[in-house]
Amino acid sequence: MRGEILGAERRRFWHDDDKLEIVMSVGVDGASVTQVAQRHEIKRQQIYAWRHDLKRKGLW
């Protein structure tokens, strides 16, 4: 199977306050980690990693 390169892969930069807002939105109105991740077009694991990082920094 051969894949096509359709465009340049982009890497997004997230500020800590944006990460915190996304992490804190889990559970609001019953939103699951999966739903929040899909809404922001990120992987579920990214939310867990951000949560861990924000706790380590003392921001959450």
Q: What is the 3-state secondary structure (H, E, C) of the chain?
A: CCCCCCCCCCCCCCCHHHHHHHHHCCCHHHCCHHHHHHHHCCCHHHHHHHHHHHHHHCCC
0.75 exceeded by pTM: yes
Between CA 44 and CA 7 the distance in angstroms is 24
Q: Is 7 helix (H, G, I), strand (E, B) or coil?
A: coil
| pLDDT for the residue 5 | 59
**Each residue of 5-45: pLDDT tens digit?**
566 667 889 999 999 999 999 999 999 999 999 999 999 99
Asked if the model's pLDDT at residue 1 lies above 60, the reply is: no
